[in-house]
Amino acid sequence: MSIPAFGVGTFRLQGQVVIDSVRNALDVGYRAIDTAQIYENEAEVGQAIAESGVAREDLFVTTKIWVPNYGRGKLVPSLKDSLAKLRTDYVDLTLIHWPAPGNGVSVDEYMTALADAKAQGLTRQIGISNFPIAETQAAIAAVGKDQIATNQIELSPYLQNAKLTAFLKEQGIQVTSYMTLAYGKVLKDPVIGQIAQRHNATPAQVTLAWALQLGYAVIPSSTKRENLASNLLAQQLRLTDDDMAQIAALERNGREVSPEGLAAAWD
């Protein structure tokens, strides 16, 4: 895996809340941090990293380019602005946040601009986020599949994306799962609850372990230090084939996020 299997997300966290979350995450052992231009928290994430005492080379920092910055002349300057906020000379991974088919910028144009950012040393790796199969194929046509480190997609026991994940595996593109806990909905699921009980684990640990066992990277977020520490323990949890089959049966196409104008047609 060219990207860390476990990181901390910062979606919807701002101000002192995100500073504390990132600082606590780094303190309990996280070394991968996921942010985005649209989260409007890059400066706070940068502050938390700077104050953590953890060496930059020990961290894996991901950000995502937002839609108005997709144009050839805008992407690199916007990434340089992100780097200034993050207080770093480079990020480890930069993603196109959404395909945004109605944006007037082609997949070829923004992927080529993203590859240019990599060539300039602004980002070590590049990738995509929320891309269905057709748009992923267009991204591959633009820069080659070996250039695409990951496709970060909404993925949970309630939304398992079988067609897309099978295609990505076939292409050798890493899957990063976000919203793995479906806004906390799966934590109340009786099946997940029973599996957690059997393993003396939390429902969150079971859900994250399920995604990890399928080979996905995960980036759960939390504002609570104890939850951040507890989530990390999912890496030590091994689910049985029966557990995995029971979770597979929870599929219900339960998509939580699909903004109009940003999302392309889902598979």
User: Is 177 within 8 Å of 153 (Cβ atoms)?
Assistant: yes
Indicate left, alpha or beta for 179 from its phi (over 0: left) and psi (-120 to 50: alpha).
left
- Confirm or deny that 199 is annotated as ligand binding: no
Rg of the chain over all Cα atoms, to the nearest angstrom? 18
Sheet of 8-9: strands edge to edge?
Answer: 8-9, 32-34, 60-65, 91-96, 123-129, 148-154, 174-178, 217-218
Q: Is 70 a catalytic residue?
A: no
Buried b (16+ CB within 10 A) or exposed e, 147-157: bbbbbbbbbbb
Which is catalytic among the residues 39, 110, 178, 216? 39
* Cβ proximity of 26 and 46 under 8 Å: no
Q: 3-class SS at 119?
A: helix
The residues carrying an active-site annotation are: 39
Annotated binding-site positions for substrate: 97
